Amino acid sequence: MPLSQVDPENYPALLDAKSIEVQSVFDGLTMPSPTIVASPPTGFRMRAEFRMWHDGDALDYVMFHRDAPKDPVPIHEFVIAHPTIQALMPTLRERLKNEAELRRKLFQVEFLSTLSGEMLVTLIYHRPLTTEWEEQARALAADLDILLIGRSRKQKIVLERDYVNECLPIHGRDFHYRQYEQGFTQPNARVNIAMIEWACNHAATLDGDLLELYCGNGNFTLPLSLHFDSVVATELAKVSVRSAQHNLERNQIENVEIIRLSAEETSQAMANVRPFRRLAHLPRPLSEFDLRTVLVDPPRAGLDPQTCEMVQGFERILYISCNPHTLADNLRQLDNTHEVVDFALFDQFPYTHHMECGVLLRRR
């Protein structure tokens, strides 16, 4: 996102224009008028990453324009980042600039912040990291009260831990999440809370059990578990499965089963195409759950045809999408069996063309 597009004063008008553009993607489909959820115009990004540019004694955070990928643009302020990132950036840069061992061949800096107040910084180098680096990095982390990780080729040094503990208030209850470095998390915490509460508002009117595909670290799983008898949540990435299992235990949630299957494998399991050993820990066969509702939160490619066909067997479909175009493609297939009864737009990514969507479908 070019920083020249960041215009907080005109954010409402920019959001209106983007919302109209996104709605045009669904032309030809019967869609209700969307609820539009705005982002804070500044301070909304919980993570950020920058290349580090060395020029004599100077050291700067930089970004690059797509049309000039070799020309660094120094970043002196980054108003879209969470205030804790904004406050840390100049202090960290000065320390890195003035400490030779921490500066030498430093290539990139990544920030992961939280609403809970924890901060994780990853320093990435084009050289092996030494015990001297580790000593200076520990002193830096202690002085700045941050978690710190060093990375280089085939090397990762975790000084304390490689995750942060986040706390999201959802409908008056705090939910605690372990978020791993380089694991997927929603970048805009405030809009993420609104997305979860939107899903929970619908779930409160439903019954039976829930199947969730692409559950990640349990972002939706934890709050939604309060509204269903049981939840079967699937995820393929090992780090996300580990995080989700920890988060269930941390929040004392006992009616969720995590299974490590891809969406395609879940479709095969639902159709009894073949058995899966990874389902052996379930308290009863998958076919014996009262699965009336499915929640899908797929990657930008959307649902593959096999998974799209599988979810058509559910009474209700909660679909969270980060790509309106692939969502529209999927809805054209789902339109044969389901109708859209609610539609929401969540501005996870202000000042870009990206928009998160939420759709509730019911069987016709």
Report residue 292 as tokens: 């009336």
Q: What is the pLDDT of residue 351?
A: 96
160 closest CA partner among 178, 182, 189, 134: 134
Percent of the chain topping pLDDT 70: 99
Q: What is the pLDDT of residue 1?
A: 63
Q: What is the pLDDT of residue 265?
A: 87
CB 35 within 8 A of CB 47: no
Query: 233 pairs with which residues across the strands?
Result: 212, 258
Q: What mean pLDDT is predicted for residues 108-118?
A: 98
Q: What mean pLDDT is predicted for residues 109-115?
A: 98
Q: What mean pLDDT is predicted for residues 333-337?
A: 95
Q: What is the pLDDT of residue 264?
A: 84
Give the pLDDT confidence of 7-22 residue by residue, as tens digits.
999 999 999 999 999 9
Q: What is the rounded CA–CA span in Å between residue 260 and residue 155? A: 27
Q: What is the pLDDT of residue 277?
A: 86
Domains delineated in the chain: 3-41+188-363 (3.40.50.150), 47-164 (2.40.50.1070)
Q: How confident is the model at residue 266 (pLDDT cuts 50, 70, 90)?
A: confident
Residues with catalytic roles: 322, 356
Q: What is the pLDDT of residue 258?
A: 95
Task: Tell whether the model's pLDDT for residue 227 goes beyond 90.
Answer: yes
Q: What mean pLDDT is predicted for residues 204-219?
A: 95
Mean pLDDT of the chain: 95
Give the pLDDT confidence of 230-252 residue by residue, as tens digits.
999 999 999 999 999 999 999 99
DSSP code at position 113: E
Q: What is the pLDDT of residue 166?
A: 98
Instruction: Classify residue 304 by burial, with Cβ atoms within 10 Å: 0-12, 13-18, 19+.
Output: middle
Q: What mean pLDDT is predicted for residues 191-218?
A: 96
CB 298 within 8 A of CB 335: no
Q: What is the pLDDT of residue 2?
A: 65
Q: What is the rounded CA–CA span in Å between residue 45 and residue 113? A: 9
Q: What is the rounded CA–CA span in Å between residue 161 and residue 180? A: 9
> Percent helix, strand and coil across the chain, each rounded to 5?
35, 30, 35
Q: What is the pLDDT of residue 122?
A: 98
Q: What is the pLDDT of residue 244?
A: 96
Query: 340 pairs with which residues across the strands?
Result: 361
Q: What is the pLDDT of residue 230?
A: 96
